[in-house]
Amino acid sequence: MSPDSQNVTSLLHRWRGGDSAALDQLMPVVYDELRRIASRAMNGERPGHTFRATELVHEACLRLMDANIAWQDRAHFYAIAARVLRRVLVEYARTHNRQKRGGGEMPIPIEDAVIVAPEASATVLQLDDALQKLEALDARKGEIVQLLYFGGLTYDEAAASLDISPATVHRELKLAKAWLHREMTQI
């Protein structure tokens, strides 16, 4: 375990144990990584958009601080953070979709589907629906997609989080992407 992983894990355990000072120490340590993940999710955002990666991180941090979770380690934290970021993006897309309905969206690769823009709101919702179906069919494949694309974890980190090999992550991700592509391109 790297020193950073050990530090985050230690701070998470102290925070879970009721040490509020640990939360104050934890946030600067994880903030940059959460900001990087959010920036990746917001990549391709149109200029002048009112929703920024910083706001995405802040909303996710507020939700994570309010969550009553028995944090296990750094990978567990980022796995949960990935779920929270996904929920924030989906809620934003639903709100935006209510304001601006549209049809005829073009299918896009999953790597590009996590951007948040008015024209992509329906795609984010379509991706969320497809991910929910995938999770119902194969929870591990859904978790792998979530950890890698919404959580920003590496193959090795996702493998450690799920207690599987990186080769299994790679193999299952290929199957998950194919399934999601088929699901999102069906009419």
d(CA 26, CA 33): 12
Q: How far is CA 178 from CA 44, 92, 151, 171, 172, in A?
A: 23, 26, 20, 11, 10
d(CA 101, CA 62): 29
Q: Are 122 and 47 in contact (CB under 8 A)?
A: no
pLDDT over 90 (residue 186): no
Selection from 36, 26, 37 nearest residue 4 by Cα = 26
What is the end-to-end Cα distance of the chain in Å, rounded?
A: 46
Helix (H, G, I), strand (E, B) or coil at 5: helix
pLDDT band of residue 123 (cuts 50, 70, 90) is low
Residue 117: the pLDDT is: 45
Q: How far apart (Å, rounded) are the C-alpha atoms in residues 177 and 172? A: 9
Q: Which of 7-11, 39-43, 102-106, 142-146 has the lowest mean pLDDT?
A: 102-106
- Which region among 16-25, 31-40, 65-74, 87-96 has the lowest average model confidence (pLDDT)? 87-96
- pLDDT tens digits, one per residue of 18-66: 888 998 899 988 888 888 877 776 664 455 556 777 888 899 888 988 8
Q: Is the pLDDT of residue 98 over 60?
A: no
The domain in which residue 81 lies consists of 3-185
Q: Show the beta-strand stretches assigned E in 83-174.
A: none
With 50 as the cut, is the pLDDT of residue 103 above it? no
Could you say which DSSP state residue 1 is in? -
Question: What percentage of residues in the chain have a pLDDT greater than 70?
Answer: 75
Kindly tell me if the per-residue pLDDT of 91 is higher than 90: no
Give the global pTM. 0.62
18-22, 87-91, 124-128: which has the minimum mean pLDDT?
Answer: 124-128
The number of angstroms, rounded, from the C-alpha of 41 to the middle of its chain's C-alpha atoms is: 8
d(CA 12, CA 65): 11
Q: Following CA atoms 162, 80, 39, 6 in sequence, which dihedral angle do they give, to the nearest 10 degrees? A: -70
Amino acid letter for position 115 = I
Domain count, the chain: 1
Q: What is the pLDDT of residue 167?
A: 94
